[in-house]
Amino acid sequence: MESVIQSYRIRLDGVRFRAKHGVSRAERDLPQDFVVCLEVELPIALLPRTDTRARVFDYDRLASLVVEAGTSTSYKLLETLAERIIGRVLEDTPALGVTVQVKKFGPPTSVSVDAASVELSGKKRG
């Protein structure tokens, strides 16, 4: 029995960069570590038909888009950063949908918290 592929997704876990994001001035003064997990839904037509690298979607391009979006501007909110990453991936790739999780370590809280993260999903319009 032949299988029928119903979806094509690429997931990148642990895309790391240092940037100056945060609500307080102190958070934006010094670079902090951020980690992004990205899942991209691609059209089935882009699925490689042969076992060669020549036709596969470029993972490095996705990782580079995440890092560029995360380091080009300083944002106060993780939510805004996640929105910008989604917008950049949808604009610059044939992605149909994107889910992104942005994690920040040692957020400024009144109790001890190892990390805070937000997760957003978006789809191409029309």
Whether residue 104 contacts residue 113, with contact meaning beta carbons closer than 8 Å, is answered with no
Kindly report the pTM of this predicted structure.
0.88
Ordered per-residue pLDDT tens for the chain, 126 residues: 667 888 999 999 999 999 988 877 777 778 889 999 999 999 998 888 877 766 677 889 999 999 999 999 989 899 999 999 999 999 999 999 999 999 999 888 889 999 999 999 999 987
Per-residue model confidence as pLDDT tens digits over 6-25: 899 999 999 999 998 887 77
The reply to whether 30 falls in a domain is: yes
Whether residue 23 contacts residue 109, with contact meaning beta carbons closer than 8 Å, is answered with no
**What domain range includes position 49?**
8-123
Which residue(s) pair with 61 in the sheet? none
Counted domains in the chain? 1
The reply to whether 77 falls in a domain is: yes
- Domain of 80, CATH number, reads 3.30.1130.10
The reply to whether 3 falls in a domain is: no
